[in-house]
Amino acid sequence: MYFKSRVEAGRKLADHIVRKYQGQQCAVVGLSDGGVMVGTQIATRLHAVLTMLLSEAIELPREPEAIAGVNQDGSFSYNNAYSPGELEDLLGEYHTLIEQEKMQKMQDLQRLQGRKSLIRKELVRDRTIILVSDGLGNGFSLDVAAEFLKPIEYKKLVIATPVASVRAVDRMHILADEIFCLSVVEDYISTDHYYDVRDIPPHDMIVRAIEEIVEHWNDA
């Protein structure tokens, strides 16, 4: 399945989600800039808070996938696509590089956040959390988010995405209480491939918009 835009995909997802979660206390969490574009449509229909979880992938030379990820509070997750033996070998070979990358990514996240956190734990606590992506080629970003959510008490974890690979869907079933996915593809190419237009504003603009939304909910 292909979509005209992330806005259109978000509206289609919202049609399914609203049927079950309308009137419930929910928090919509975008996992990327594109996830925010999709999640905005869901949050608007549910009258729910919209936040964003910032994370960065740690990549190694000649490796096809990121070895690990770090999110805005410093939580660190290894990619479960690698076996324990593969991780042990990579950690032995690239330990210094991984630590350097981890520190650099944390500094990058702190700069992106500015003075405020985009996702505040009090805004998602005791709610149904809806993690939203614009496309999942694997489940790694979900693992990073799940690590961040571990200390938070919430009612349910829902994962929503317009398109995902079979591998990502398998991971969603493990992590989530419920999933909403409009299209499952065997050979996932790239997220942009499934959209006719790339309707994602500059990252700084998205960050400022989310900060304003969070401030509004804090003042409410």
Q: Look at residue 73 and tell me whether its pLDDT is greater than 80.
A: no
What the chain holds in terms of domains, given with CATH numbers, is: 6-53+118-219 (3.40.50.2020), 57-113 (no CATH)
**53 three-state secondary structure:** coil
pLDDT tens figures, 154-164:
999 999 999 99
Q: Is residue 211 within a helix (H) or strand (E), and if so which, with residue range?
A: helix 203-219
- Dihedral sign (CA 129, 42, 3, 208): negative
Highest average pLDDT, of 63-72, 74-83, 127-136, 209-218, comes from 127-136
For residue range 175-200, what is the model confidence (pLDDT) as tens digits?
Answer: 999 999 999 999 999 999 999 998 89
Q: Cα–Cα distance between 76 and 74 in angstroms, integer?
A: 6
CA gap 69, 141 in Å, rounded: 8
Per residue in 100-112, pLDDT (tens digit) is 888 887 777 766 6
Q: Which one has a higher pLDDT value, 30 or 109?
A: 30
Tens of pLDDT, residues 103-143: 887 777 766 655 455 667 788 999 999 999 999 998 888 98
- pTM, two decimals, is 0.84
**pLDDT value of position 59:** 86
- The percentage of the chain sitting over the pLDDT mark of 90, rounded to a whole number, equals 53
Distance CA 52, CA 207 (A): 8
Give Cα separations from 141 to 86, 96, 125, 138, 168 (angstroms): 20, 23, 20, 8, 10
Mean predicted confidence (pLDDT) in 5-13: 97
Please state whether beta strands 68-71 and 55-58 pair in parallel, antiparallel, or not at all (unpaired). Answer: antiparallel
CA distance 40 to 4: 16
